[in-house]
Structure 1
């Protein structure tokens, strides 16, 4: 398929380069265009568009500029999906337009999943196949869909779907003019009925303004070289970020452009906003190009079919990893289920890699360059199980194949391997082979030691009673009574019939799983004949068959292996009638069920590892304990999840804590504070509801040595309600906070292993839209940019119930802290000095006069005001800013140094 895509790209490139001012040569037959009500036909075949930008200062995820060609045509909605259209099809959905909005208003406050369900509903209405499939759906308290488990996009199906980013940009570029769309200058900060601003050159409305729009793509980096039929990221990557396009009624025309791919905050599939809607597209996408998170073309796309919690229920822990060989790409790939997102990471390498085996701690993978049943040279390597496959180490012996990790009695790790993986059918040849063990510790191999003759690459038992081998015979080395396998007797099981893919259980049961060639012995045991590899067979320690599992209809098994750390599970591949290994499955020997884990084009040699650290008990439910982040929650939950782990680990030594929004998170580098052991618990969009919740229930209950509370005062955030910033985006999205609440926040002491459980709960490591790490929360040095306004300052009245509630929370936190003798430092963070020339306090308002009144009232409280904004009269230079209301690393250094100096001079209450 990749070769076809390449030649189509060359054809498109040659035809497009002849004349940039006109349409390229198109040798397609005359099109039979079928009119579809509400949709515009887009003649894109042979055309191209440019995605991203090379403009200095743009987001990294918007760079570099990449040209994308099309080898197909499609339809796109004339306008954004309206309330009337949405309500008519999604009759079961609570996220409807009611009350203030008419039928012609764009539907907003819908998740990506809501848009997917609408697209499927429209496909069904028009008797088309659905483009999206999933295994289950979940909905939030408002009725919006917040997760579709096992969601798969079938790009080759002709049905309704969201447009790809490339399709969207191509259509939008046909007469792009943000000045004519509904924007912050002419919209009165509200969306308008669809089609009430001018259409572009091909008759499509509202692409530059009105509401921001979902597109189909996972966010990924671009590449410099052109691509064809671009469909975005291959999977959800490190944080499950989505692409949104177009700007909205609250954006200025000068900041609305074709290359932007995100919003002010990171966008994931469960994001909602009153300025975020969508439109549909129609048409299959042939030979698509997917990119991985690093912007490299994925030769073979692997799609996961299992959810995080589903894997957790199977393994008993969040710590599990699936490693396999993507044979089309010739690379090892893996999924780290402990990251909280389902992302297939491919270790890009030119090295042959077969039979991967994960180390007992889950951090490394061993593999060989030779494959079972094949003669010839082979080497064993070990590398870290990360995206780069770092710290590659080779076992320097003449020949080594099919490695398997083992734990030594002293707790060290070692690898058992064989001198040859060749066919074991000939007795004399098999006797010349041997099985070896080599220590591996601190990233280095030790001295190899021969165990015994014969290449028993199916495994050596923990009980030291048996070793097995396959391809072509099922051979076993069995210990005599009172002896170990080292003094064992070589024998052939299964009547000498052909067997392969042999694996010995690692749970001490000494069971062996294997595949056969439809032999007589297997047929007699099963009670019917079957084809080669159509049955998984299980033998006991004596080689007697004790169980059989049938492959799903139309498939056969291959590459069977016991799950590492499991007791009754086997992982295997499924091959279709043509022999292509399309799926990796999990076989449950307790009920003979077969569950698909991932799908792809040619997947080999799976190894599923999980930790034995299952901390669940009567006192501790690890489905909930410490689970402060899930992919269905907003990214701010990830930031807080990192802070909560530090909170529990360091609670006995913390003497100062900071609460606030991303302004606090990025400006105050707690690790640089010398006067106190400080924890910065701020998180993006942190507002008084969440801040007071954390203070009352966690800080006061567990930080027994707390002396100082650093509390953010951002007047603009006092008009944001707790439902949209805390309850609906974090509190209701993850079980950890409610679990703590149901146990009275552990005021009488934490249960055993609680902190251990917190450490292994889901946590991604990086995110494309995040230009900072989860260790330091520091933004790169950039600039203030230009003052922008994302909210009309007049929309923040003094008599707002939301304002009154937030201000009451603010005063309550201060009162409680001071009553307990805790010093309170109220911080105001620098924003763009240009706001001093406007009537707005900052990017989100309110009126400057309102903000002055609020800060004056704070001065009258029993607090220390640390105002580094000074209504724009501050000394934070352009280089100290990341954007209009966040400090960069350089700015954080100055802010933190000044705060630390203040804290060191405080006379603390006794």
Structure 2
């Protein structure tokens, strides 16, 4: 059977192999202690009813050989029962409800075959469609959907999983493991030993004691969970990660027809390649579940239980269009946990990160460079002792520093004329209604540079915590009265006159604009002055009010129906926006919103239980270029693309920044990416542009359109030869993954790859485009691309080696492209080094060249053909007869840090001879 090429060819092959398959389920019921299955019945056709309440499943493992995201073993208890599909959703079932979907079931794919080549989002849409078809509420809601060229859904913006709704959904990992553990036996499922490397009709392998089929093998299955680390302590009603984390990885379970039985384990949570919501492959499908999940438990990316789950409700590009830049950050107080949380919209993945504090945190304010956050331990309107802290705005809240003064509250960053930063704070956050008490407070300024506070300096009397203007003409304060300190003509606010605005009526949440307009935003209590300005009466905090530099009302914005505003603050960065929380009729602060003063629109940014004191920062656009569309220019990564796009995002920035110095470049797959540490190459200024899924189509595209056009001092091209990748087509491994899902490459193409020169600020635009800094399952950094030392492991085969034949149109196209790159490079006078990267030496004992084939005889013919060309051959594999030891490997076909050191040194030695 001819199979479609995988849509997620990637970089990391990791196989958790063990001869001892652990029982991953524990039943807390004496009648089940002998291993008998839990009682089931079914009143829904095609579904088994699972009585899980009072029982538990063991997720993950404590095996040292397992990858970190599969550890430690964690017990997950259930307080509810649920239904689960007896088999994977079939082609016939899928297209009966989603006729518009991209996956095909015609020809050799019959109606009883499992539906494959579907994304997580496709599965979600199918679940919703099935719920609607049976007049049930939908479990998933979202604000918008996008689709790729094949019709598959590659993103659902604002996706929320409503776990307490009874409707069709994907099973949680805990549910899936609980059911699969009953009679777990991968030997009896469809696997690489018996499947002929293809999936089979559902329910054609034996059912488990619950009457459920194909949980081990046939096709890998989507489950509902975001990927997260486990914790050692047990959890109840576990539903996975709280959000997409730093990369947006999803959990998949069960192995497939292409895996050996020993590689199909209950604890494995991933695939050979990184799995995100937009991933798909001809070995990946899903089944459904049904039932409410009460009192669900989420874990954050670090494996800690989330007391309160916050969901972002805005897409990356929508936020960029509002603020004018990709670089924006939202920080707020989660009042349930008392911790600060933040969203870095510039990372390209919208994840809510909670900083575990050791003290109360109120009124956060982001530094002008967006890297730090200042906050106080007291809240507006309440007196008492308060302290001001500053810490880095990162996942750990590192470099915590306390201002060493007796009392400090409600800090606000200030950029001084000399470029240094300072913090303005007040000595009390108590209400300001009493004149005498207010006069006894004061406003101070303290320098903050290089992570340290300087010496505080008093500015003036009165706690003007609403802000001091950049024009030095105005300071404001709220909490009962709207007080202002106004500079007299020719003077500054230091010599200002204290006054009370808004007719002495009650006001709070006062914030002074930072754009030089000296406007003041505040909330009131439905006072007479506000009602007269608006033209009608309104409730407390139902209107955001804006006053000009003299205290005169100039604008009002109504809160959305059913809500009131609270915690209003001007957006940092000089824009015409105010950020605020929305409180419902019960006073719960459920949303953070962005208020556009230009048109009075209100956009939801995040939702949760109690979200307080939001602060939104965005970078100022330091350049203006009519030549650049910053929605596209340099955007080489988006979360909807495969992870290799992030690697290329890093490589492309280095390419543009160093294009005039680079003398050697390497192109290839993850094998080259991890084996060649370009920073250690001394003979040349070498850029390693290899990336996961680096098949020849992408390699050729980068070489012809970027390398040749812009690396004017290039002397050497290092080209990876991986015979197995010559049988993977360019659509699946380049065009469909990167070219069609990120706009940067198409934008460059539409501008002839800038052969006539880069427009001004192009490199500046590249630097600020989305780039997540961390990746959950990947044990390397985006700075060095080095893997930890492990072992070669077992020489598993993930593709039938007999499939690779020379008459394949895919092979012929790839081989001609490979030859063309060599030909053009030699015509340009470049030295061409063709390299073969080491794989597990144990493949010498098989009939396969490596993990994906081809037959060794086929590979030899390919290699001999390339050797006959005008190239310098650098073979470090030698059909397994190499000296890369076990500790030099990370897995079957990737070198570890130790292996990379040896490979890089040897290649560098070769390159040094070429210079002579």
Kept in 2: contact 1:643–1:681 (CA 8 A): yes
In 2, the alpha carbon distance for the partners of 1:18 and 1:516 equals 62
Q: Distance in 2 between matches of 1:885 and 1:71?
A: 44
Secondary structure of 1:630's aligned partner: coil
CA displacement 1:255-292 (0-9 Å, x = unmatched): 10000000111000000100000000001111111000
Worse overlay, 812-821 or 33-42:
33-42
Counterpart Cα distance in 2 of 1:184 and 1:801: 25
Residue-by-residue CA offset, 1:524-553 (whole Å, 9 max, x unaligned):
111111111111111111111111111111
Deviation at residue 226 of structure 1 after TM alignment? 0.5
**Do 1:418 and 1:433's aligned partners in 2 also have CA atoms closer than 8 Å?**
yes
Question: Equivalents in 1 of 2:416, 2:135: separation in Å?
Answer: 62
- 1:43-192 correspondence runs (5 A): 43-192=51-200
- Give me the whole-angstrom Cα distance separating, in 1, the residues matched to 2:238 and 2:808: 47
Counterpart of 2:46 (choices 27, 34, 38) is 38
What is the match of residue 692 of structure 1? 700
Corresponding position of 2:447: 439
- Alignment correspondent of 2:508: 500
The alpha-carbon distance between structure 1 residues 24 and 867, as it changes in their structure 2 partners (threshold 3 A), is closer
Which one of 235, 252, 259 corresponds to residue 260 of structure 2? 252
**Shift of residue 895, structure 1, vs aligned partner:** 0.7
Offset at 1:761?
Answer: 0.5
Aligned to 1:7: none
Task: Please give the secondary structure, in 2, of the residue aligned with 1:906.
Answer: helix
Q: Pick from 835, 839, 849 the counterpart of residue 843 of structure 2.
A: 835
Tell me which residue corresponds to 2:435.
Answer: 427
Residues in 1 aligned to 2:767 and 2:36: alpha-carbon distance in whole angstroms = 57
Q: Within the alignment, does 1:16 sit opposite 2:32 as a pair?
A: no
Among candidates 812, 818, 822, match of residue 810 of structure 1:
818
Contact kept? 1:15, 1:24, Cα under 8 Å: no
Aligned to 2:307: 299
Please tell me whether the aligned partners of residues 26 and 55 of structure 2 are also in contact (alpha carbons under 8 angstroms).
no
**Aligned to 1:795, which of 798, 803, 819?**
803
Matched, 1:597 2:609: no
Alignment of 1:858 onto 2:866 = yes
* TM-aligned CA deviation for residue 905 of structure 1: 1.0
Q: Please list, as runs of the form range in 1=range in 2, the aligned pairs for 1:722-737 lying within 5 A after superposition.
A: 722-737=730-745
Which of 233, 237, 242 pairs up with 1:234?
242
Q: Is the 8 A contact 1:663 1:885 kept in 2?
A: yes
Q: Does 1:651 align with 2:659?
A: yes
Alpha carbons of structure 1 residues 155 and 496: separation in structure 2 relative to 1, 3 Å? same
> What is the deviation of 1:521?
1.0
Counterpart CA distance in 2 for 1:320 and 1:452 is 33
Residue 755 of structure 2 corresponds to residue 747 of structure 1: yes
Distance change (3 Å), C-alpha of 1:311 and 1:616: farther
Counterpart position of 1:901: 909
CA separation of 1:92/1:625 partners in 2, compared to 1, >3 Å: closer, same or farther? Answer: same
Cα distance per residue 1:39-61 (max 9 Å; x no partner): 11011000100000001110100
Aligned counterpart, 2:618: 610
Contact 1:616-1:622 within 8 A present in 2 as well: no
- Which residue in 2 is equivalent to 1:666? 674
- Cα distance in structure 1, aligned partners of 2:280 and 2:808: 23
Residue from 466, 481, 500 that aligns with 2:474: 466
Instruction: Tell me, yes or no, if structure 1 residue 271 matches structure 2 residue 279.
Output: yes
| Structural mapping, 1:203-352, within 5 Å | 203-352=211-360
Total equivalences in the alignment: 892
* Superimposed CA distance per residue, residues 575-597 of structure 1 (whole angstroms, 9 cap, x where no aligned partner): 11111111101111111111111
Aligned counterpart, 2:584: 576
Structure 1 residues 499 and 249, CA gap change in structure 2 (3 angstroms):
same
Q: State how 1:699-778 maps to structure 2 within 5 Å.
A: 699-778=707-786
Instruction: Return the structure number with greater relative CO, CA threshold 8 A, min gap 6.
Output: 2
- Secondary structure of 1:836's counterpart equals helix
Query: Does 1:529 pair with 2:534?
Result: no
* 2:413 is the alignment partner of 1:405: yes
Aligned with 2:631 (options 623, 630, 638): 623
For the residue of structure 1 that corresponds to 2:595, the secondary structure is strand
Structure 2 Cα separation of the partners of residues 66 and 275 of structure 1: 28
Question: 8 Å contact 1:615–1:757 — kept in the other structure?
Answer: no
- TM-score computed with the length of structure 2 as normaliser: 0.96
Structure 1 residue 907 displacement after superposition:
4.7
Distance in structure 2 (CA, Å) of the matches to 1:350 and 1:876: 48
Match of 1:194 in 2: 202
Cα distance between partner residues in 2 of 1:187 and 1:15 = 33
Q: Describe the shift of the 1:38–1:545 C-alpha distance in structure 2 as closer, same or farther (beyond 3 A).
A: same
Question: Judging changes above 3 Å, is the alpha-carbon distance between structure 1 residues 24 and 207 closer, same or farther for their aligned structure 2 residues?
Answer: closer
Is the 8 Å Cα contact of residues 17 and 24 (structure 1) preserved in structure 2? no
Name the counterpart of 2:562.
554
How many Å apart are 1:94 and its aligned residue?
2.5
Partner of 1:187, secondary structure, is coil
C-alpha contact 2:37 2:210 (8 A) present in aligned 1: no
Q: 2:662 aligns to what SS in structure 1?
A: coil
Offset at residue 616 of structure 1 (A) = 5.1
CA distance in 2, matches of 1:47, 1:97: 39
SS at match of 1:313: helix
Aligned equivalent of 1:449, options 443, 450, 457: 457
Q: Which moved more, 1:441-450 or 1:709-718?
A: 441-450
CA drift of 1:20 comes to 6.8
* Counterpart in the other structure of 1:878: 886
- Check whether the contact 1:403–1:416 (CA below 8 A) recurs between aligned residues: yes
Unmatched segments (≥5 aa) in structure 2: 1-24
Q: Is the 8 A contact 1:326 1:333 kept in 2?
A: yes
Q: Does residue 585 in structure 1 map to residue 597 in structure 2?
A: no
SS of 1:738's equivalent in the other structure is helix
What CA distance in whole angstroms lies between the structure 1 residues aligned with 2:679 and 2:209?
A: 55
CA distance in 1, matches of 2:33, 2:102: 48
Tell me how far 1:96 sits from its aligned partner.
3.0
> What SS does the corresponding residue of 2:383 show, helix, strand or coil?
coil
SS class of match (1:16) = coil
Q: Which residue of 2 aligns with 1:9?
A: none
Give, in whole Å, the separation in 2 of the partners of 1:611 and 1:344.
19
For 1:680, the equivalent position in structure 2 comes to: 688
User: How far apart are the structure 1 equivalents of 2:915 and 2:153?
Assistant: 52
CA–CA distance in structure 2, aligned partners of residues 876 and 460 of structure 1: 64
1:19 CA drift (Å): 7.5
In the TM superposition, residue 838 of structure 1 has moved relative to its aligned partner by 1.2
Distance 1:727 1:753 in 2: 27
CA offsets 1:143-178 (integer angstroms, 9 cap, x no match): 101111111111111110100000000010011010
The alpha-carbon deviation at position 615 of structure 1 amounts to 4.1
- The structural deviation recorded for 1:414 is 0.7
Per the TM alignment, residue 523 of structure 1 is displaced from its structure 2 partner at its CA by: 1.1
SS at match of 2:507: strand
Runs of 4+ in 1 over 6 A off after TM superposition: 17-20, 23-26
Distance in structure 1 (CA, Å) of the matches to 2:533 and 2:357: 44
Quick one: distance in 1 between partners of 2:627 and 2:302?
42
